[in-house]
Amino acid sequence: MIRAGERVFVDSGGWIALAERRDPHHERARGAWETLCRSGARIFTSVAVVLETFTFLDRRGSRDLALRWRESLSAVRNFEVLGCGANDLDEAWSYFDRKDLHKLSLVDATTFVLMRKHRIRIALAFDTHFVAAGFRLVP
């Protein structure tokens, strides 16, 4: 259950599944997104996730799809893009010492740092690393 004002981080996998109808997680992402919007959740993402998502949609989909996704962000209510500074990056490297986070991306590691820093405990993601790192996924 998502409460009004609850902070939720949307990862690249969540954005991609929402934008790309052929994505295997599309229907699940749509349902989760509708739940977030109805509940009045506060939506967060990061500059790194925006870069990763745009690049993926541009390269694997089309430039038009990537630009439509970018434009759709302006319609998201209660939305904030978090920056990642050098200190956040330095802290992210420690996640690579963990054996349970095999094949972790640096974007995910910085995401975990930002989520902890901003007290975000829930993610719209389809990546098991989030659960291993101690976060909950949007049902």
Domain span including residue 112 = 7-137
Q: Is residue 27 part of a domain?
A: yes
- The rounded distance, in Å, linking the Cα atoms of 108 and 127 is 9
| Residue 133 resides in a domain | yes
Q: pLDDT (tens digit, 9 = 90+) per residue, 19-72?
A: 999 999 999 999 999 999 999 999 999 999 999 999 999 999 999 999 999 999
How many CA atoms lie within 13 Å of 100's alpha carbon, on the beta-carbon side? Answer: 7
Confidence of residue 13 (pLDDT cuts 50, 70, 90): very high
The answer for residues whose C-beta is within 8 angstroms of residue 73's C-beta and 6 or more apart is: 50, 79
Given a contact cutoff of 8 angstroms between Cβ atoms, the answer to whether 122 and 137 are in contact is: yes
Percent of the chain with pLDDT over 90: 98
82-103 per-position pLDDT tens digit: 999 999 999 999 999 999 999 9
Domain-located, residue 103: yes
Residue found by looking up tokens 């302006």 in the block? 74
Instruction: Tell me the CB-side half-sphere exposure of residue 112, using CA atoms within 13 A.
Output: 23
> Three-state SS for 10?
strand
* CATH, residue 84: 3.40.50.1010
> In the chain, how many domains are there?
1
Please report where in the chains the tokens 């995910």 appear, as a residue.
108
What pLDDT, on a 0 to 100 scale, did the predictor assign at position 1? 83
Is 1 among the domain residues? no
Query: What does the pLDDT look like over 103-136, one tens digit per residue?
Result: 999 999 999 999 999 999 999 999 999 999 999 9
